[in-house]
């Protein structure tokens, strides 16, 4: 059975906010962002242990062609998406979410 990925509420808001930011500038860029986000999430689901260790016991995968990365935590067959973080944002700002994932 393949693991499932669940978004922390704040990570979901970050993804929507980022998508909307791209949408205001270009529908094509917004579509590419969403496709890349979907691709990265599927990559995490397919092989959750593949990516390097990050902060506080999490792992991360950068998005291609976008300055974002997905922070996630693996626990048994569950994957918690902790953040969809912009690369220029303060590192580790999302740590307090781990308890609430």
Give 26-47 pLDDT, tens digit per residue.
999 999 999 999 999 999 999 9
* Domains in the chain, CATH or no CATH each: 4-91 (3.30.2310.20)
Distance of alpha carbon 97 from alpha carbon 19, whole angstroms: 21
Tally Cβ neighbours within 10 Å of residue 22: 17
CB 61 within 8 A of CB 37: no
pLDDT tens per residue, range 12-21: 999 999 999 9
Q: Show contacts of 63-68: CB within 8 Å, 24+ apart.
A: 63/33, 63/36, 63/37, 64/36, 64/39, 64/40, 65/32, 65/36, 66/32, 66/33, 66/36, 68/18, 68/37
């Amino acid at each position: 059975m393949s693991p499932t990925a669940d978004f922390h509420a704040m990570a979901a808001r970050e993804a929507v906010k980022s998508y909307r930011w791209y949408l205001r500038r270009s529908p094509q860029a917004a579509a590419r962002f969403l496709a890349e986000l979907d691709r990265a999430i599927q990559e995490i689901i397919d092989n959750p242990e593949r990516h390097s260790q990050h902060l506080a016991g999490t792992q991360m995968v950068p998005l291609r062609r976008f300055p974002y990365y997905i922070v996630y935590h693996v626990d048994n067959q569950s994957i918690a998406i902790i953040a969809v973080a912009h690369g220029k944002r303060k590192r580790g700002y999302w740590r307090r979410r781990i308890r609430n994932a």
